Structure formats: C-alpha cells, structure tokens
Homo-oligomer: A and B are copies of this chain.
C-alpha cells in the first residue's frame, strides 16, 4: 500500500523536486501540500506543469485535520515554519521528514521528546545527499587505519566561503576516529603561503573554485605504497531526492526522532 505524503514548500527549489519525485514513485501518494500562500487553490492551479493535483493548505493544523490518512510530512520550507509544521505533524501522529540546517539544539531536543513520547518517527537531516553522507561515513571509518588524509573540495567560482561546510564536517568526523597528528614532513616549508591548504587539527583542506564545476569533494588517505580515495560529485539538486525517498520509507519504521541521514544508512 502506498505511503500518503504531504509536502510543505512545493514551490521551492527542493520542494518542487520532492513533488516530482513523489509523482514518479508509485509507492508514494501525494495527498496535499502546505504553502505559506495559495491556500484554497490546488497545486496545478499554482504550478501548472506538475502532473498531480492536490489541495493546498496554508495552515498545517487544518491540513492534517482534513486529511487524517496522512503518513508522512516532507517539510522543505524554512526553519521557523518547519519547526511549527513538525510539532503539529507529530501531534497528529504524522511522521515528519525535515530538510533543514536551521533548528537550534533546544528545538531538536523538544521535538525529540515529543517524538519519543508519542512513539512517532521523525527524521531531521541537514543533508539529504546520500552520496555525500556515505562519503563522510566511509572517511570516518577509513581514518582508523589511515591517519594521513587530505581533503580536496571543488565548487563553482560563485561560492563565497572556503572551505565548504561539507569539507569542514568531514574533517571533524575524521578527527573523531584518527589519532591526532601533524602531517607532512616535520621540516616542510611553504615557499608560497597557502600551498598546503587550510588545517583542521593537521588535516589539510584544499578548495578549488572554477566555473564549470558544480559541487565535488574527494578525501584522499595515504599510507606506505597505497592511497584510498572517496569522492562525491554532485551535479544537481535531484541528488537529494534519493535521500528524501529513503527518509520517507525509514521514518515509517521508526518510533523516535533521528537527527542526520547518516543514522539511517
């Protein structure tokens, strides 16, 4: 039997990808959408190119009251709205799958205690790209055996910050397993500053910025006579939908809040 889904934020970049994904997957059935505008209209009235038509609600409470067979809420809105939607969903025994980096620790704790006491599964994930999450997981595992590691991340040249958040996150995860060490030759010298990259506890990070690139990262481990490389290339937003799909399926089997896609992989 299909899983009944409500999508919040169907006009956003991620949300519209989610609608397309649910349209394609026969195991899911879109029941309604939650949107901060267009309440009372239908999805196709607002976005004609979608092939499924469902009612739009501005109010989450009303949405779940009028559709009591909903299994999962996929929330791809902004933190403030997402937090409210999640609370309301849990109260209606609807399992939330939320893509956000913006919840505070306090909010997560609160949602976690609601989810646990209600026995309703809930997934909150800052990153839905399964490939990126697996890359980090494998990197953390490999660091036990290969303490020497450099990270190269490559992005289009309109990215403002270097290194990328994923590179920093990866280094932090590696740091949890590997024995701290200063890498490279003890007397190593940069004849040009910056050559050896940024440094997180001895782990070197190099940021390439070029037009034509999208979002790429490779983690290179070296030891005598061998290297092991884990590389993720992300070409477009569609890459997140595999993770949302997995999240919908997994949250159906859970009875508590899970933070981070890595914890269901």
Q: Check B232–A227 contact: CB distance below 8 A.
A: yes
Find A228's partner among B135, B188, B191, B246 (CB 8 Å cutoff).
B135
Q: How far is the CA of A91 from the CA of B152 in the complex (A)?
A: 50
Chain B residues with CB under 8 Å of A159's CB are 185, 188
How many chain A residues sit at the interface, stated as a range, is: 35 or more
Q: How far is the CA of A134 from the CA of B144 in the complex (A)?
A: 11
Q: Which of A160-201 contact B (CB under 8 A)?
A: 160-163, 168, 183-185, 187-200
This chain's copy number in the assembly: 4
Question: Does A71 sit at the interface, judged by CB under 8 A?
Answer: no
Find A231's partner among B187, B228, B240, B246 (CB 8 Å cutoff).
B228
Chain B residues with CB under 8 Å of A214's CB are 235
A128 to chain B, nearest CB (A): 11
Question: Does A211 sit at the interface, judged by CB under 8 A?
Answer: yes
Seed contacts A134-B142, A197-B206; 10 additional CB < 8 Å A-B pairs: A148-B211, A150-B208, A152-B152, A157-B183, A183-B210, A194-B196, A208-B220, A210-B220, A228-B233, A230-B231
